[in-house]
Amino acid sequence: MTRASDVRDYDADYDDHDVITSGPKHEAAGVKAVMVSMQRGLTQMGPVRTTAALTRLNQRHGFDCPGCAWPEEHGGRKIAEFCENGAKAVAEEATKRRVTPEFFARHSVAELQNKPEYWLSQQGRLTHPMVLHEGDTHYRPIAWDDAYRLIADELNALDSPDEACFYTSGRTSNEAAFLYQLLVRSYGTNNLPDCSNMCHESSGTALTESIGIGKGSVTVDDLIHADVIVIAGQNPGTNHPRMLSILEKAKANGAKVIAINPLPEAGLIRFKDPQKVHGVVGHGVPIADEFVQIRIGGDMALFAGLGKLLLEAEDKAPGTVVDHEFVAAHCAGFDEYAAQTRAVDLDTVVEASGIDRTQLQRVADMLIGSERTVLCWAMGLTQQHHAVATIGEATNLLLMRGMIGKPGAGVCPVRGHSNVQGDRTMGIWEKAPDAFLDALDAHFGITSPRKHGYDAVDSIRAMRDGKAKVFMAMGGNFVSASPDTEVTEAALRSCNLTVQVSTKLNRSHFVPGRKALILPTLGRTDRDIVDGRKQLVSVEDSMSMVHLSRGSLKPPSAELRSEVAIVCQLARTLLGPDHPVPWETFASDYDTIRDAIAAVVPGCTDYNTRVRRSDGFQLPHPPRDSREFPTHTGKANFSVYPLEWVPVPEGRLVLQTLRSHDQYNTTIYGLDDRYRGVKGGRRVVFVNPTDIARLGLKPDDRVDLISEFEGQERWAKDFLVVPYSTPEGNAAAYYPETNPLVPLDHTAKKSNTPVSKAVVVRLQRREGSAS
Ligand SMILES: Nc1nc2c(c(=O)[nH]1)N[C@H]1C(S)=C(S)[C@@H](COP(=O)(O)OP(=O)(O)OC[C@H]3O[C@@H](n4cnc5c(=O)[nH]c(N)nc54)[C@H](O)[C@@H]3O)O[C@H]1N2
Ligand SMILES: Nc1nc2c(c(=O)[nH]1)N[C@H]1C(S)=C(S)[C@@H](COP(=O)(O)OP(=O)(O)OC[C@H]3O[C@@H](n4cnc5c(=O)[nH]c(N)nc54)[C@H](O)[C@@H]3O)O[C@H]1N2
Ligand SMILES: [Mo]
């Protein structure tokens, strides 16, 4: 039996024993949002840096927001778009607080490993490279060259390069990502797990099967001109706030929004634009025309049921629903899809989704009446066991109607990290296609391995099983972001060496291997000057737009190195003076990296020139650009999978693990989730009032969450029960506190993404609880 939280009790000062709850809010943003972000800015950065930072956020000559991957409006990089959570992400990075060598001398690793993420997040920016030698109780400073030597020695001592794993989080720039994968492949492995494996991997897998490319097919302009926008499994009010002003524009043009979510998320219901008068007074703009309160994991059934209703409407009035010309010219598998979908039992759909026939028909009618439909989604769809099939099923609804590669219509997986899509384009992929590796080898005269590497889950398994012994992370917080915290922690502790290239402290620093390094690096907001010349980096947003980002703030310490510098110097130390890649040239002039990217990465010709255009440039996307579908059939494929959903076992709940309004993934900004009416704490579990009664509990009871999977139990202790509007049988609680509950082996079929949105749990009332 696993009891992860037994070994990991949270610091009372930084957690929630005084939670106040007041129920969901119905609108997002508004003046309160401006006040909160200004206050965070002033607390973290002081007035001068606040002004300097916020006036350059997403400006043409400024830096790309380190928050989400939502794009700027085309031609719209002139005015700062206000976004509370973007401002908070900047405040966290540009903070004046510092974590110095004295800090590490004061606090032992034993002490720091018991601090909650929130406390760690709030200590500020790292200033010096630090090492933890075997048997030491404290991290101590290390010279950069000695750090590179240590990594190189440990890597060279391995029996095979496949015994090392090189993680990337999605903030890394295109330039750093390109060099990092080049270093890893030159060393000899494809073990390049990244945060995408835990995030949108299911979208990439599903879209590659359906349309031949794992990226979204729409632009902001398409959204603005859509008739219907479906938003499934996404909470834009918190996680992509700038999307709300686009939705508002689309609505002003007459678009209808269908929100599919177990929770009535504030931003899906109403939006108060703080830059407009109606955002200051009044109730804001209603967003969702149809709120579909789906059961967790019920989306595939919903999309299949809608498919059936669309086909029935087509049968009644042939030629009015199905775009036969598009299907005949561009698609494969329609007959098989139609046969399976016609046979779908609507009673099963109602049971699986929790959506009644009347609403099902209403939504189908909206889709039938739409000439231009955009389908947006995020983690509510991707982190499910049947995620790939679900996204395929949703895509079927668009294919049938010829809604790909047409203005105002298409698929829109809304990415998370600000450059997660760019990192993949640059080759951060454990399964990079041979064509990419061939181009890399030809350009640099190296021999990349062809054997596929480990993704995030397989890296944990490999470390657990003693097959991987060195772990290096280019950003992120692998320990807290990964599933099955106790297994992941043991896996990392069993390594010979763990290396974290980081901007700020996080738990991964205190779950060390036999030896550990913390290498502090520049963030997006910091200026990067090499030999007196300011260096620029570039990123790709959720809609395949590539543009520059220029940091402008004084870095937290002269000891920081850019990610590019760290990769280049490590590469030279590891690979030796004769290695053919010009690492020194790359480190001294980032234009030379972009020239190499132009030569190797498809769609990047003339990178240096095009990326300097005011809006940057858009990467090619054959389905969007010319209705070409580079799949194995050469056509867009209808996706046909057996129908799957998530039944709720007797006396149990299906728990989704999600973000509050006051965090960026594992970086915790504060203890309030304003839009869900939670103040002062994060260890809460949202439960339907009927379930609270049925389970013999009361609101405000304290419970332990016990996950049950294949006969194993996993525990997370001491959560406050909060009555909330969620379908019966479903519950919600925050990530990363609940990661100990997510089983490592419960992953999405084909994409291997951890099933973070459907964990079967029972709730056990704690002794001394309120009732
Ligand atoms: N401020 C801020 N911005 C962020 C982040 C952050 O932590 N903070 N994280 C970034 C990252 S990396 C990512 S990937 C994105 C994440 O953006 P989201 O995907 O919006 O993030 P989650 O909080 O995981 O929310 C998932 C949503 O899916 C819903 N959901 C859960 N289960 C189901 C289901 O079965 N079906 C449906 N239809 N819906 C379901 C939940 O109720 C919730 O509204 O945000 C990015 N932006
Ligand atoms: N249960 C559950 N688990 C989840 C999820 C969920 O919804 N539920 N979501 C998953 C998703 S979508 C994602 S994307 C992952 C996120 O996983 P990660 O990307 O690994 O996690 P983050 O919390 O974003 O990483 C934060 C750390 O990144 C470092 N950092 C910040 N900026 C920079 C930079 O510019 N350079 C470098 N080198 N370091 C930097 C800081 O030190 C900070 O502590 O978590 C996944 N895990
Ligand atoms: Mo993500």
Confidence at residue 281, expressed as pLDDT on a 0 to 100 scale: 52
Architecture of domain 218-414: 3-Layer(aba) Sandwich (3.40)
Is it true that domain 653-765 has CATH number 2.40.40.20?
A: yes
Please write the tens of the pLDDT for every residue from 508-530.
999 999 999 999 999 999 999 99
Q: Calculate mean pLDDT across residues 699-705.
A: 97
202 close to 417: Cβ distance less than 8 angstroms: no
- pTM higher than the cut 0.85: yes
Confidence at residue 564, expressed as pLDDT on a 0 to 100 scale: 98
359 pLDDT above the threshold of 60: yes
Ligand 1 atom nearest 378 alpha carbon: 19
Ligand 2 atom nearest 199 alpha carbon: 12
Shortest-distance Cα residue to atom 37 of ligand 2: 475
Q: What is the residue-averaged pLDDT of the chain?
A: 93
Give the number of the ligand closest to the Cα of residue 299: 1
- What are the tokens at 575? 């690979």
Among residues 296, 307, 237, the alpha carbon closest in space to that of 83 is found at 237
Regarding the beta carbon of 67 and ligand 1, being less than 6 Å apart is answered: yes
Please write the tens of the pLDDT for every residue from 207-233.
999 999 999 999 999 999 999 999 999
d(CA 563, CA 535): 12
Give the number of the ligand closest to the Cα of residue 654: 1
Q: Calculate mean pLDDT across residues 628-641.
A: 98
What percentage of the chain has pLDDT greater than the value 90?
83
Is it true that domain 105-188+423-611 has CATH number 3.40.50.1370?
A: no
446: pLDDT confidence band, cut at 50, 70 and 90? very high
336 pLDDT above the threshold of 60: yes
Lowest-pLDDT choice from 59-63, 246-250, 327-331, 687-691: 59-63
10 pLDDT above the threshold of 70: no
Q: How far is CA 119 from CA 108, 158, 274, in A?
A: 15, 36, 31
Confidence at residue 271, expressed as pLDDT on a 0 to 100 scale: 75
Residue 442 Cα to ligand 1 middle (Å)? 40
74 pLDDT above the threshold of 80: no
Distance in Å from the first CA to the final CA of the chain: 28
d(CA 124, CA 45): 10
Please write the tens of the pLDDT for every residue from 578-630.
999 999 999 999 999 999 999 999 999 999 999 999 889 999 999 999 999 99
Residue 414 Cα to ligand 1 middle (Å)? 10
d(CA 724, CA 722): 6
Regarding the beta carbon of 233 and ligand 1, being less than 6 Å apart is answered: yes
Lowest-pLDDT choice from 4-13, 298-307, 475-484, 749-758: 4-13
44: pLDDT confidence band, cut at 50, 70 and 90? confident
80: pLDDT confidence band, cut at 50, 70 and 90? very low
721 pLDDT above the threshold of 70: yes
Shortest-distance Cα residue to atom 39 of ligand 1: 233
Regarding the beta carbon of 378 and ligand 1, being less than 6 Å apart is answered: yes
Ligand 2 atom nearest 420 alpha carbon: 14
Residue 418 Cα to ligand 3 middle (Å)? 9
d(CA 17, CA 22): 16
81: pLDDT confidence band, cut at 50, 70 and 90? low
d(CA 213, CA 206): 9
d(CA 479, CA 415): 21
708 pLDDT above the threshold of 70: yes
Residue 570 Cα to ligand 2 middle (Å)? 23
37 pLDDT above the threshold of 90: no
Tell me if the bond preceding 642 is cis, omega within 30° of 0: no
Please write the tens of the pLDDT for every residue from 526-570.
999 999 999 999 999 999 999 999 999 999 999 999 999 999 999
Please write the tens of the pLDDT for every residue from 93-116.
889 999 999 999 999 999 999 999
Q: Calculate mean pLDDT across residues 687-714.
A: 98
Give the number of the ligand closest to the Cα of residue 238: 1
Ligand 2: which of 503, 528, 562, 741 to mutate, judged by most atoms within 8 Å of the beta carbon? 503
Full DSSP string of 210-252:
HHSSSS----HHHHHT-SEEEEES--HHHH-THHHHHHHHHHH
| Domain boundaries along the sequence of the chain | 27-94, 105-188+423-611, 218-414, 653-765
Please write the tens of the pLDDT for every residue from 273-282.
666 655 555 5
Confidence at residue 15, expressed as pLDDT on a 0 to 100 scale: 53
Shortest-distance Cα residue to atom 24 of ligand 1: 658
149 close to 443: Cβ distance less than 8 angstroms: no
DSSP, collapsed to helix, strand or coil, labels residue 313 as helix
The better pLDDT of the pair 597, 285 is held by 597
